[in-house]
Structure 1
Amino acid sequence: MYSVAWRVGGGVSLGLAVACSGNTGPENKTAAPPPTGHYEGPITYQGSELRVALELREIRPGQLQAEVRFPQLPELGFEPARVSYQAPQLRVAQQATGSGGIQVQAVQEGDFLRGVLSWDSLQADFVWARRGEAAPRGFREQALPGYQQLRLLLPDDTLARHVTLALVASPATAAAAGQRAMYLARHGIAALVLPASATLPDSAGGVALAAVLAVLRQQAGVDSSKVGYWGRGRTTSMVAAAASLSPRPEFVLLEGAAADTRDEAQLYSVFNRLRVPVLACYGALDTTVQVRESARRLRTALGYRRGTQVRILPQATPDFVQPGRTRPDGQWQWPQPAAGYWAGMLEWLRQR
C-alpha cells in the first residue's frame, strides 16, 4: 500500500538538479565548472556497436541536468536520478539507489569524456566527444500550483490542450515513470510524475491522488476532459482506489497489476463499473506476478467494453524491454524496447 508523498525524493523528479563540487586541494580551491553540452560516441560489446548521446546542462551555477539518449533506440532514453561531478570525474546513474540499470562513470579530458558505461552486469568502455551545445529537451516544465515539487511536462508544440497522464510512482518504479513522462511529453502527451511511499493505506493515497488530479485538470495546456492515471505493480491498487473519487479519471494505464486471485482481481472491477477504459500490459518475463493468470482474471474484472485492452508482451521484462543476448553469430544484441509497447501506448492515449 502506498501514500502520495509530495516531495521530490528517491530520484523521482524529472530533470533532477544536483550540486557539483570541484577539487578542494591546495592547487584548486575554486570549484571547476562542470562539463556541459552534447557528448556523443559509441559503446561496443562483443562486436556490436550502439551510439550514445549524453546531454549535460548547467541549469544554475554548480547544478547539472543530464539526459542519456540512444539514437538507435529512442524509447530507452532517460533523465538519470543521480548526477555528480567532482572535477574531473562525472557519475550518472539511472536509478536513485542501488547498482542496477544504466550507470556512467567518466573523466573529462578537454572536449572528451572517457569512461565506462554499465548496463546491469554488462560493461563497455567509451570515449565520447563534445559536439556542440546540449540538445533541447523537447518539452517545457512548470510547477503545479499548491504542489511546488511536482512538475508538469507539457509538449513543446502549438496545441492549446493536451491529453494528460498522471504517473503514480513508488520508489521502485520512479525511473520507469520518469522515462515514460519524458517520452510522452515529446510525443504530444502532457505528463506528471506523482511520487508515492509506503506509509498509508490505498484509500488515503487515493484521496491525495484525486486532490492532485483536480488541480491538474485546471492547468493551462491540459484538456480537463482527457486526464488519467498510470500505475505499475503495487501502485495499481492505489489508482483503483482513486478511480471512484471525484474527479474521476477518464482513462487508466496499468502495468504488472497483480490479479493472481479472485480477490485481487476484484479491486479493478471499479473501472468496469464506472466505465473507465483501461490499457493493462504485462511483460511475459515478469516473475513478480502470475502473468497469464493475472491477465485472465483482470480481463474478466475489467469487462470487455470498448477501449479496454489487456495485453501480454512476449519476451518482455517488467520494464517492457527485451533483454540483451548473444546472437548465433556471436555478436551481442543490445536490449530492445518490447515490440509494440511504446507505439501501442501512444496510439491508445491519442484515441482517448
Structure 2
Amino acid sequence: MPVLTGHFEGPVTYQGTDLRVTLDVRETTPGQLQADMHFPEIPGISFPVANLSYREPQLHFEQQPGQPGSITVNAVREGDFLRGIFTWDTIQTQFVWVRRGQAATRPYREQSVRLPGLAANSMASLLIPQDTAQRYPAVVILPDQITAGAAATRADLLARHGFVVLLLPAVAADSASAADSVAYHTASAGLAACRTESSIDTAHVGLWVRGANAALATQAALQAQSKCRFAVLEGVPVASRTQAQPFQLLARQLPVLGLYGAADTTLNVRESVRYLRPALKGRASAVRLYPNANRNLTVVGYTNAQGQWQWPQPAPGYVSDLLTWLRQQTVR
C-alpha cells in the first residue's frame, strides 16, 4: 500500500455535537510526512501537526506535545479511510474520516535559521508565505515554556495571513538584568536575523512576547538597530505601576497591543490589565481582555444551558482583532 498522503475530512462528534475536521497529509521527501489539521467552522485553530508518525497502518500525531488542552489523534488506515480516537484535552471520541483527493499545499514554507550572536545550536523556525509578494511584514515570536505549543499555532495563523514569522525557542522565566537575560538576547538575535532575511520588509517588523519575560525582552525592541516597529504583549503579568513603567516607555516609542484571557490562571489578569492599560496610551496601543478565555486565548469546551456541547474555540473576536491591528501597523 502506498504511503499515507491526501486530503481527509469528516466529523468528530461529542455529546451529539459535530465538528468538521480536515487533515492534509503530504510526503515532503521519501518517507517523510508533513500534515496540517483544520477546523473549517473554527477559524484560528488550524495547526501544523507535531510528533507525526505513520507505521502502516497506524497514524499518530499531536498538536502541542506535553501541553494541557492539546489535541491528539491515533488512527488506523483502512484503504481510503482513517478510523480512530480523537482526544482534545479531556474529551475523547471515535471518528471515521475519508480521503477526498490530494492534500492541499501548505501556503508557507518553513526553514531553520541560526540566531546571530547566540550559541551555535540556537536555532529558530522561519515561516515564509508562498504567494506573489516579494517581501512581507514580519513578527518575531518569543514564547515562554508554558505556551510554546500555542506559539506554533500563532505562527501558523500569521503565516497563513501574509506575515513572515520567526518563531524563537522558548525561554524560561528570566529575572536577570538585560545584560544577562536570555530573553533579551534571544529577542535581540531574532530581530537581528530579520534584518538580513530577503523575504522580510524590514520597515515592518514587530516583536511578540508571552509572559514574565516581556519587560526584559521588549528592551530589545527599543534598541535603534532593532528596527522594531510594533510589539504584542500576551499574558504579561504587571503587579504595580513600577512594573508597568517599561511598557509605558515602550508605548511611547511604538504601538503596543496587550492580550489577556480572563480565565488565565497563570497570572492575576485583573490586576495586570488595571496597571497595563493606562501605561499603553497613544500611538495605536491597546489592551484586549477576552472573557472566559484561558492562557492560550481559547474558550474551553462546555455544555450550554440547552444541554448542547460547545467545542473549544478561540476567544470571540480575538483572531479578527489581532489581524486587524497587525495590518494597521504594517500598511505599506
Normalised by the length of structure 2, the TM-score is 0.89
After TM superposition, list the pairs within 5 Å mapping 1:10-25 onto structure 2.
none
User: Does 2:165 align with 1:191?
Assistant: yes
Question: 1:66 pairs with 12, 27, 35, which one?
Answer: 35
User: In 2, Cα distance between the equivalents of 1:166 and 1:139?
Assistant: 16
Shift of 1:146: 6.1
CA deviation profile, 1:274-332 (whole Å, cap 9, x unmatched): x1210001111112222121112112333x11210011111211211122111233221
Shift of 1:129: 0.9
Structure 1 contact 210–248 (Cα < 8 Å) conserved: no
Structure 1 contact 320–337 (Cα < 8 Å) conserved: yes
Structure 1 contact 151–193 (Cα < 8 Å) conserved: yes
Question: 2:138 pairs with 164, 167, 171, which one?
Answer: 164
User: Does 2:319 align with 1:336?
Assistant: no
Count of aligned pairs: 319
Work out the percentage of aligned pairs sharing the same amino acid: 45
Which secondary structure state, in structure 2, belongs to the residue aligned with residue 234 of structure 1? helix
After TM superposition, list the pairs within 5 Å mapping 1:21-100 onto structure 2.
34-97=3-66, 100=69
Structure 1 spans left out of the alignment, 5+ residues: 1-31
Question: Residues 285 and 199 from structure 1, CA distance in 2 versus in 1: closer, same or farther, beyond 3 angstroms?
Answer: closer
Give the equivalent residue in structure 2 for 1:131.
100
Question: Residues 141 and 316 from structure 1, CA distance in 2 versus in 1: closer, same or farther, beyond 3 angstroms?
Answer: same
Give the equivalent residue in structure 2 for 1:267.
246
Equivalent residue letter for 1:347: T
CA deviation profile, 1:150-196 (whole Å, cap 9, x unmatched): 33222222223221101112332222111111111111222110013
Give the equivalent residue in structure 1 for 2:221.
243
User: Does 2:296 align with 1:322?
Assistant: no
Question: Residues 72 and 232 from structure 1, CA distance in 2 versus in 1: closer, same or farther, beyond 3 angstroms?
Answer: same
Question: Residues 33 and 235 from structure 1, CA distance in 2 versus in 1: closer, same or farther, beyond 3 angstroms?
Answer: farther
Equivalent residue letter for 1:346: L
Larger deviation, residues 81-90 vs 69-78: 81-90
User: In 2, Cα distance between the equivalents of 1:68 and 1:160?
Assistant: 27
Larger deviation, residues 68-77 vs 136-145: 136-145
Give the equivalent residue in structure 1 for 2:119.
none
Which secondary structure state, in structure 1, belongs to the residue aligned with residue 239 of structure 2? coil
User: In 1, Cα distance between the equivalents of 2:48 and 2:326?
Assistant: 23
User: In 1, Cα distance between the equivalents of 2:188 and 2:13?
Assistant: 47
Give the equivalent residue in structure 2 for 1:309.
286
Structure 2 contact 140–190 (Cα < 8 Å) conserved: no
Give the equivalent residue in structure 2 for 1:29.
none
Shift of 1:202: 6.2
Shift of 1:34: 4.1
Give the equivalent residue in structure 1 for 2:78.
109
Question: 1:288 pairs with 266, 280, 283, which one?
Answer: 266
User: In 1, Cα distance between the equivalents of 2:68 and 2:296?
Assistant: 16
Question: Which structure is richer in relative contact order (CA contacts within 8 A, separation 6 or more)?
Answer: 1
Question: 2:192 pairs with 192, 214, 221, which one?
Answer: 214
